[in-house]
Amino acid sequence: MDPPPRKIDLSGTPREIGLTHGALLATEIRRQISTYDAMFQQTSALDWPAVRDVAREYRPTIERLTPDIYAEMVGIADGAGLDILDIVALNCRSEIALGLFSDGCSSLGWKLHGDGGTVLAQNWDWTKRVKPNLVMMSIKQVDKPTVYMITEAGIVGKIGFNSLSVGTLLNAVRARPTIPSKIPIHVALRVCLNSVSAATAIAELEALGGVASSQHILIADRDGPIGLEVSPNGSVHLKPDSNGIVVHTNHFIENRLVDERPWLAGSPIRLERMKKLTGELVSSGEAPKGEVLRQKVFSDTFNAPQAICCKEDPSRPLPTRSSTLFCIVMNFAKGTKPSAELVWGMPGSGNEGGVLSMPW
Which domains does the chain show, CATH number per domain? 102-358 (3.60.60.10)
- Nearest-angstrom CA–CA distance, 124 and 350: 17
Q: Name the phi and psi angles at 322, rounded to 5.
A: -110, 150
- Neighbouring CB atoms inside 10 A of 280's CB total 12
Instruction: Give pLDDT, residue 48.
Output: 95
- Answer whether 329's CB lies under 8 Å from 290's CB: yes
Query: Cα dist. 81→18, 67, 75 in Å?
Result: 12, 21, 10
- Neighbouring CB atoms inside 10 A of 354's CB total 10
Nearest to 161 by CA among 200, 131, 132, 190: 190
Instruction: Give pLDDT, residue 262.
Output: 67
Task: Give the angle 118-324-2 at the CA atoms, nearest 5°.
Answer: 110
List 248's β-bridge partners, or say none. 107
Nearest to 197 by CA among 228, 166, 155, 237: 166
How many Cα atoms sit within 13 Å of 159 on the Cβ side?
Answer: 31
- Cis check for the bond before 317: say yes or no (omega within 30 of 0): no
Nearest to 76 by CA among 191, 184, 155, 158: 155
- Nearest-angstrom CA–CA distance, 76 and 246: 35
- Neighbouring CB atoms inside 10 A of 349's CB total 15
Q: Which residues of 81-117 are buried (b: 16+ CB within 10 A; e: fewer)?
A: ebebbbbbbbbbbbbbbbbebbbbbbbbbbbbeeebb
pTM (2 d.p.): 0.97
- Nearest-angstrom CA–CA distance, 27 and 35: 12
- Nearest-angstrom CA–CA distance, 92 and 157: 11
Instruction: Give pLDDT, residue 115.
Output: 83
- Nearest-angstrom CA–CA distance, 220 and 242: 17
pLDDT-flagged residues of the chain (< 50)? 99
- Nearest-angstrom CA–CA distance, 289 and 174: 31
Q: Name the phi and psi angles at 94, rounded to 5.
A: -70, -30
Q: Residue 42 corresponds to which amino acid?
A: Q
- Secondary structure class of 184 (helix, strand, coil): coil
Instruction: Give pLDDT, residue 82.
Output: 98
- Nearest-angstrom CA–CA distance, 15 and 101: 30
Instruction: Give pLDDT, residue 39.
Output: 87
